[in-house]
Structure 1
Amino acid sequence: MSVNTLIFAHRGAKGTHPENTMIAFQTAEQQGADGIELDVQLSKDGVPVVIHDETVDRTTNGSGWVKDMTYQELQTLDAGSWFDPSFTGQRIPTLNEVLAWVRDTPLLINIELKNGIVPYPNLEQIVIDLVHRYQLEKRVILSSFNHYSLVDIHRLAPHLETAILYMEGLYEPWHYARRIGASALHCYLPAAVPKMIEEAKRAGMPLRPFTVNREEDISSLMQAGCAAIFTDWPERARNIRQTLSHS
């Protein structure tokens, strides 16, 4: 049985390492992930930084909104010890730092623009410019829950792949995605029912559910021929894919 489902490490190897840190991304590559997924926001002085929440409270030893802190202020925060003391000293990376590293790996990279709550000015162009700087056009997917942002990206850089993020069981979402210039579906796991996977394949649009962590879900999606999954446990997913491929 040939299993071709790609494995994206959700915020890096988030199950075993502090999310959205360089150590989490590097570990995901070592564990055999095909790609990494990360979140990008802007500091007060316009530097694109890699962090999921709009505030730093949950994943650092600091407190406050990302948008209200300068890059230098963000760099003083510890982004590892909240997860485990052994990761003390991990920092919030910049998108520039991650892309410079990714360029020398075989990894795909999904950049989620976190602009649904805070409307970061010019975030789309800033991200696009960095993708071009590191010549990652063929390896990048830009996604967002803010679909107005995806329309802007498609207008600015129609050659880059964009994907709609959504939670609900939308009807034939590939039609909507194409209408806004997107070419992939990144749905919440419960929306990835077998019929949806089959119809998305027939429509020629990759379906990549998030966040797929249970072994039975990983296995069933891979056996159904899902294009890719986002998982906190890339090593687990890789082992399941190897087992299925040899069965």
Structure 2
Amino acid sequence: MSVFTLPAFAAQENISKQERQKMINTAHRGASGHAPENTMTSFQKGFEMKADYIEIDVQMTMDGELVIIHDTTVDRTTNGTGYVGELTFEEIRNLDAGSWFNDDYTGEIVPTFEEVLDAFHGKIGILIELKAPELYPGIEEEVAKTLKDRNMHKPNNKKIIIQSFNHESMKKSKELLPGVPHGVLAGLSWAGITDEQLAEFASYADYFNPNMNIVTPSLVGRVHEADMMIFPYTSRSQKQANHLINLNVDGIVTDYPEHVYSHPVHHS
């Protein structure tokens, strides 16, 4: 269906090029509308589409390897079964992480955290989500060590952000990496967040990144007043992206980077 047949898209015409350009465009699990999520192909696609950041999900294998996968089991996005934390790296590495999406991606592998950092740091920003860190004792230290080994923990490095739904984990991570911006993810249950709660988050977080369905002009204003930025998730349509741009958020986490005005990233 072409966009101009939908009345809802009338709002698109009111969004200036400048408004689109200032929006931080984050490719959710890579450009996951176009390629299997959390694979090197998906991340490369996000880079090629000129997103500002790729968003990645970090978990830990039974033998302590940091891998990039969203669910706490491998069932949905690979041809295997079982919990990530109960499988060895070798077992996960031998899985097909692409054919579930499309036969063209048969043979895609689950990448490691190190592989993603080494391939993309300096090319595109990386928004690192610690996925269910409560299942992986010590994961904050392992992530911190991996970043420090690459000198990617310095305050002037604006292209690494760490976030999680586990807010205690973010407090811990911020202590380990005080120079790295951190974010708190917030689901639908945070719709009634108070100014006091925002102030508490702001004591260790630079971003308040909520489910897009709880975002209102008031929330955006209050997050900004608390001196945080707001990157709602997850936009999957042009209409949703336009709505978020009109709400004056700072960035959009999307499966489709083309829905946000794509522009080159300028690295310092």
Normalising by structure 2, report the TM-score. Answer: 0.84
* Counterpart amino acid of residue 25 in structure 1: F
User: Contact conserved, 2:164 with 2:185, CA < 8 A, in 1?
Assistant: yes
Please show how residues 37-186 of structure 1 align to structure 2 within 5 Å. 37-105=55-123, 107-115=124-132, 118-137=134-153, 138=157, 139-167=159-187, 168-169=190-191, 170-172=193-195, 173-179=197-203, 181-186=204-209
Deviation at 1:121, TM superposition (A): 1.6
Deviation at 1:216, TM superposition (A): 2.1
Deviation at 1:20, TM superposition (A): 0.2
* 1-structure distance, mates of 2:152, 2:198: 25
User: Contact conserved, 1:32 with 1:238, CA < 8 A, in 2?
Assistant: no
Deviation at 1:99, TM superposition (A): 0.2
SS in 2 for 1:238: coil
* 2-structure distance, mates of 1:215, 1:190: 15
Deviation at 1:86, TM superposition (A): 0.2
Which residue pairs with 2:218 in the alignment? 195
* 1-structure distance, mates of 2:185, 2:70: 15
* 1-structure distance, mates of 2:224, 2:177: 25
* 2-structure distance, mates of 1:81, 1:185: 34
Identify the match of residue 229 of structure 1 among 249, 252, 260: 252
User: Contact conserved, 2:160 with 2:180, CA < 8 A, in 1?
Assistant: yes
* 2-structure distance, mates of 1:128, 1:151: 13
The reply to whether residue 17 of structure 1 matches residue 40 of structure 2 is: no
Moved runs in structure 1, 4+ residues, more than 6 A? none
Deviation at 1:222, TM superposition (A): 1.7
Deviation at 1:224, TM superposition (A): 3.1
Deviation at 1:154, TM superposition (A): 1.6
Unpaired segments ≥5 residues, structure 1: 242-247
Number of aligned residue pairs: give it: 238
What are the Cα deviations for residues 143-169 of structure 1, in whole angstroms up to 9, with x where unaligned?
Answer: 111111111112222111111111121
What are the Cα deviations for residues 25-54 of structure 1, in whole angstroms up to 9, with x where unaligned?
Answer: 000010110101010100111000000001
What are the Cα deviations for residues 93-141 of structure 1, in whole angstroms up to 9, with x where unaligned?
Answer: 0000000011241x1111111125x520210011111122233331111
Deviation at 1:203, TM superposition (A): 3.0
* 1-structure distance, mates of 2:166, 2:225: 26
What are the Cα deviations for residues 168-226 of structure 1, in whole angstroms up to 9, with x where unaligned?
Answer: 211234312123x1111010011111111122223321011000122122113223321
User: Contact conserved, 2:78 with 2:96, CA < 8 A, in 1?
Assistant: yes
Identity %: 35
Which residue pairs with 1:30 in the alignment? 48
SS in 2 for 1:23: helix
| Shift in alpha-carbon separation, 1:104–1:200, aligned structure 2, 3 A | closer
Which residue pairs with 1:245 in the alignment? none
| Shift in alpha-carbon separation, 1:122–1:48, aligned structure 2, 3 A | same
